[in-house]
Structure 1
């Protein structure tokens, strides 16, 4: 019984990781992190590059979490919590949505909720790991995203990870008294080299 208590305590302290990189690790979204997810989505600095800034209640985020879990069951979307690999601190969320297994396409999204982790390469590595998961893990071919013209830091991270700009919808986003372009970017599996999963998701050698 004592060993079981120690095991349960250990499991509570150490989150489950599915993909591990050099600086970040990705694991499933967790119900006990809903208050943290709510804090991130109420940070207008986070929302500046995601949605129209507005407050979100705990009840709203709880309902959103249940919808996310239901969508994952239907294989329409995959959500990950982003962790600092060294401290195990949750620092954001990332996802693949609108997954189309027939045409092998999906859309990508990311939010780094903890301000201290922005601009330090954590987002760029997360993007690479998610592309690796999309291409190597799911066998997809084309991953697309949209961002705003004024999100220059995000565009830099996307390009470093492998995305390329493919087009714009001009002056279709309003912020700070000005109209900005919506920027569309994509990455193809044929333009990407697996950093992690290509060494894990491999067949057994013949004996």
Structure 2
């Protein structure tokens, strides 16, 4: 096995981690995870809380990955894979999109793709770590999101992480034979206490 093949094998065995919390860790998205993203993108139980459920092809998800990589180069988005800290199993993704460094704002998104990790606090901590990155790492001030009125689990996660409701678009989402509100939420840097990065993003002390 040549050196490059060894490096590729090692990369697939142990992911790079950027931010570590108590239950989850965040690291860069990877091409070898596209099959995972493909499977998650076809889970209708997840899609009912995101957008209109429909099947998507592997090629489509590979194209999404390539687009995400290009957008990251332009500093307009940031994507992290969410890992179970204990096993380093990839369980989902968190994203910052529409990053506006001048106005210090961005839009937040999260997907916990693995069913066994939903409703157990992993999404809440992943959200808090992403807010920490947005505020402490990037110096942003306002992080916004929107969700559906019927998505009670997501609303609970967002509120625990630090978001608050700031408005509604009434009866603008159809689900289960009924029209629901779209709920808009945001979080400000002045309302958030950094759990991790405030201990890392610090200047060097002067040495005598």
TM-superposition CA deviations, 1:112-153 (whole Å, max 9, x none): 000000000000000000000000000000000000000001
Shift of 1:12: 2.6
Q: How does 1:140-159 map to 2 (within 5 A)?
A: 140-159=140-159
Displacement after TM superposition at 1:13 (Å) = 1.0
| TM-score scaled by length of structure 1 | 0.96
1:50-199 equivalences under 5 Å are 50-199=50-199
Contact 2:12 2:32 in 1 (8 A): no
How many residues align structurally? 207
Deviation of 1:11 (Å): 3.4
Alignment gaps of 5+ in structure 1: none
Deviation per CA, 1:154-197, whole angstroms, max 9, x where unpaired?
00010000000000000000001000000000000000000000
Correspondence for 1:27: 27
Separation in 1, partners of 2:63, 2:49: 23
Alpha-carbon distance in structure 1 between the residues aligned to 2:165 and 2:2: 56
Which contiguous aligned blocks of 4+ residues in structure 1 show a shift greater than 2 angstroms? 1-12
Runs of 5+ unmatched residues, structure 2? none
Give the structure-2-normalised TM-score.
0.96
